[in-house]
Amino acid sequence: MKKVITYGTFDLLHKGHIRLLERAKSLGDYLIVGLSTDEFNRLKDKEAYYDYEHRKYILEAIKYVDEVIPEMNWDQKADDIFKYNVDIFVMGDDWEGKFDDLNKLCEVIYLERTQNISTTQIKVELKNL
């Protein structure tokens, strides 16, 4: 079984998120999502609209997602690759080059983001209503 892992906050779920998860899952048989915890988001100076449990519940309902694990810090990715016997690490192409060091542990793939949609864009538009 080929395992794939990706990470993110997955707040205000939109088509871009679903497309990323769909494409990540198509690379293997089992997709693990490392979901940023509320505490980790605060460390990143990010604020999610929905709390961790709410975002986790939504992700677990998506047919492409097989397992959701908490992402608690930047450094856990290598440990997760070993712990979950991951074959492919996937992130959006806005992170290109940032995780190339993981190539020694598994294949690293950066997927093109869906154009003209992002959680940040949605939040900005909602503030302007």
Q: Compute, in degrees rounded to 10, the torsion defined by CA atoms 85, 88, 92, 96.
A: 110
What is the rounded CA–CA span in Å between residue 66 and residue 122? 27
What percent of the chain has pLDDT above 70? 92
* pLDDT attached to residue 13: 86
User: What average pLDDT is seen over the chain?
Assistant: 92
Residue 122 has pLDDT above 90, yes or no: no
Name the active-site residue from 2, 15, 44, 83.
44
Question: Which listed residue (2, 3, 15, 46) is catalytic?
Answer: 46
pLDDT at 114: 74
- Residue 98 annotated to the active site: no
Neighbours of 74 (CB within 10 A): 11
- Distance, in Å, from the CA atom of 65 to the CA atom of 84, rounded to the nearest integer, reads 15
Count of beta carbons in the 10 Å neighbourhood of residue 98:
12
**Is residue 44 flagged as an active site residue?**
yes
What is the per-residue pLDDT for 15?
87
Q: Is the pLDDT of residue 120 over 70?
A: no
pLDDT tens-digit series, residues 56-104: 999 999 999 999 999 999 999 999 999 999 999 999 999 999 999 999 9
Instruction: Looking at 8-102, list the stretches that DSSP marks H as alpha helix, in order from N- to C-terminal side.
Output: 15-26, 38-43, 52-60, 76-83
